[in-house]
Amino acid sequence: MDIAISGFPAETTGDEIREALEQYGVTVKEVCIELSNNPHRNLATVGVDLDESGARVLAKKLNGSVYKGQRLRAESYLLFK
């Protein structure tokens, strides 16, 4: 499954995102970051080793949380079935 996370500061690295998610006990497969001129639109696509319901629960926990002073938005999705 994949989780889309946005709203994090532009200086955030893939390793920092990985470490933050691993604190939830999640195995992160990959992190892809796309930066925008608008910091609220920075997007990380994170491949996680979770089933659909587990990814949904994790996204719900992340959504609205604050990371480095900025409120995150997160949602889970299945890229390929």
> pTM (2 decimals)?
0.88
SS3 content of the chain, % helix, strand, coil (to 5): 30, 35, 40
Q: Quote the distance between the C-alpha of residue 67 and its chain's center.
A: 11
| Assigned token pair, 9 | 């500061």
Per-residue confidence at 80, pLDDT binned at 50, 70, 90?
low
CA–CA gap between residue 57 and residue 16 (Å, rounded): 21
pLDDT at 65: 95
Inform me whether the pLDDT recorded for 72 exceeds 90.
Answer: yes
Q: Tokens 């997160």, residue?
A: 74
* 45 pLDDT higher than 60: yes
Provide the pLDDT for residue 40: 72
> Domain 2-77, CATH 3.40.50.720 — does that match?
no
- Give the chain's mean pLDDT: 91
Spans of all domains in the chain = 2-77
Q: What is the largest CA-CA distance in the chain?
A: 35
pLDDT of residue 4: 96
Calpha distance 44→3 (Å, rounded): 8
**Measured distance CA(58)–CA(36) in Å, rounded:** 24
Residue 2: the pLDDT is 94
